[in-house]
Amino acid sequence: MGETAMRNQIRRLRFEHGEMTQQALAERVGVTRQTVIAIEQGKYSPSLELGFKIARAFGVGIDEVFQYEG
């Protein structure tokens, strides 16, 4: 798996939300910690549904979490 053209702000948002752990975020959105790690590192692009779940977990719009650089 290579890097995607999608950038994200998950790490920054986790720290702005009380230093939320990757595990805590994974549990909130219904995925494994390994999935959160891969998304955060830009090695995996989440489904649109998962992208919205992640944004909702932080109380922000999806465009504040993900930016496409195509």
pLDDT (tens digit per residue) in 42-67:
999 999 999 999 999 999 999 999 99
Exposed e or buried b per residue across 6-38, where buried means at least 16 C-beta atoms within 10 angstroms of its C-beta: bebebeebbeeeeebebebbbeebebeeebbeb
The structure tokens listed for 63 are 């465009």
Contact 14, 42 (CB under 8 A): no
Contact 11, 66 (CB under 8 A): no
pLDDT (tens digit per residue) in 3-46:
778 899 999 999 999 999 999 999 999 999 999 999 999 999 99
The Cα 37–Cα 16 span in angstroms is: 17
Give the pTM. 0.91
